[in-house]
Chain A
Amino acid sequence: MRIPILKLHNYLLISIQTELDDQTAIQFQEDLLKQIHITEATGVVIDLTSVEVIDSFIAKVLGDVVSMSDLMGAKVVLTGIQPAVAMTLIELGIHMRNVPTALDLEQGLMKLHQELGE
């Protein structure tokens, strides 16, 4: 199962529509970094609206993706984290402090826009 990565101007959009298993997450991490390299994107929005479970491994992978993309010069924003997911993550002690977040795709794009100063 590969997660589609869409390009929009300088940004990459990813909407995760399936429950993430470990394999898919790792695959996604590689794909995204490759895409950033190819497209020279400056911003990435990962939308998690339809994700209902995030375990500690997935959370770590997502956190890593953010740091890695940063290194490659692309800013990442996570959007649409569901209340239940947020609660579970906090209860697990996963705070994801280095990860910028936004309520939905629209605000995520706006946030990128602001942070990149475009």
Chain B
Amino acid sequence: MMNKDLRSIAIENSDEITQEWLKEINQLKSVNYTEEISAELYDNNNQEFLNVIFHSIRGNGSTKVIKDFSDRIIQLGWPLSYITDGLLVFRKVTVNTILTKLEQSDGGFVSEIISSVDSWVEPIIRQLVNEYSVSWEQVVSLQRIALQELSAPLIPVMDNITIMPLIGTIDTERAKFIMENLLEGVMRHNAEVVLIDITGVPVVDTMVAHHLFQATEAVRLLGASCILVGIRPEIAQTIVNLGINFSNLPTKSTLKKGFMLALEITNKSIIEMDNKSQNMDDLLGFGKGSEITNENSNLKTT
């Protein structure tokens, strides 16, 4: 009953509340957000925000309206602080306006006004904050998936030779994922040698070394072998200082050297193509014969 009265007072004086609200919110504007938003867009959005609030106060099936509004502002990237500030200011302004209209100031009545205005504003805040947090959670989970896709890629570069470049910190969860991917990949690509490139791993401590060991041992059980490549000087220092023994795992400083070792293990070698200038000479007819040498096979299996 009382609440209903207050509600109609608020709606009747909506213009006044709007004016006050805009004044207050414009003061806040300069302080924290919306530097890059144009004035026009800002005014439009304010107006829309107020419409949504009044719509909700009138109480006609408002959740849909709030949802549409929140979807839009989330899409546009308005900060959550704009919403919460806006609603807090609205609450203050509305309470003030109603108080001045009714010119009544005993304590019980004031608290009644505040609690009823609160009950208008609360569901809006709750819903908007919820919408925001849901959208953030979505973003986080998408990013987690993206990160996982990147966390243990396995690249077959040649028959029987596969490379796994690792970038970023390795924790237990990721190490498990790496091991699974590595073993599945060895089976799938029929790999004989796997090069694990740790150029992009910032820290190799005992835990990371332990995980790498486990992975390489497991790969060995499958019948393939691992070469650890990309060991930077500082990584070599930490490994030795920590007393980690990598002696039963072949290691190389660069992927290039590791690849050479892998070729050796798989009985392959790279043969340089014919000298380029020689080829040009042949093409232009300066050589002994004018035919093009046909020896362009650059890889042979011995």
What is A's interface to B at a CB cutoff of 8 Å?
78-83, 85-87, 89-91, 95-97, 101-104, 107-108, 111
Contacts and interface: CB of A to CB of B under 8 A. Distances in A.
Interface in B204-262: 214, 217-224, 248
Nearest to B221: A86
A38 to B, nearest CB: 28
A54 B219 CA distance: 16
B192 interface: yes
A103 B184 contact: no
A95 B219 CA distance: 11
B192 A107 contact: yes
Given A83-B180, A83-B187, A103-B187, A90 B221 contact: yes
Listed residue (B183, B224, B248) with the most chain A CB atoms within 10 angstroms of its CB:
B183
Contact of A83 (B192, B222, B248): B222
A81 B190 contact: no
Contacts of B224: 103
Given A79-B223, A102-B223, A103-B224, A86 B218 contact: yes
A97 to B, nearest CB: 8
A87 B223 contact: no
Nearest to A88: B218
Contacts of A83: 180, 183-184, 186-187, 218, 222
Given A83-B184, A86-B183, A103 B221 contact: no
Interface residues of B, number: 19
Nearest to A83: B183
Contacts of A107: 192, 223
Contacts, number: 54
A82 B184 CA distance: 9
B222 A87 contact: no
A82 B218 CA distance: 10
Highest count of chain A CB atoms <10 Å: which of B180, B184, B190, B218: B218
B223 A96 contact: no
Interface of B: 179-180, 183-184, 186-187, 190-192, 214, 217-224, 248
A107 B248 CA distance: 22
B218 A90 contact: yes
A101 B218 CA distance: 11
Contacts of A96: 221
B190 A101 contact: no
Given A83-B183, A86-B183, A87-B179, A101 B221 contact: yes
B184 A81 contact: no
B222 A90 contact: no
Contacts of A85: 221
A108 B219 CA distance: 15
A9 B214 CA distance: 37
B220 A101 contact: yes
Contact of B217 (A80, A95, A102, A104): A95
A104 B221 CA distance: 12
14 contacts: A78-B223, A80-B223, A83-B222, A86-B219, A87-B218, A90-B214, A90-B221, A101-B220, A101-B222, A103-B191, A103-B222, A104-B190, A107-B223, A108-B223
B146 to A, nearest CB: 25
Given A83-B222, A90-B218, A97-B248, 11 more contacts: A81-B221, A83-B183, A83-B187, A85-B221, A87-B218, A96-B221, A103-B187, A103-B191, A103-B222, A103-B223, A104-B223
A87 B180 contact: yes
B118 to A, nearest CB: 56
Contacts of A97: 248
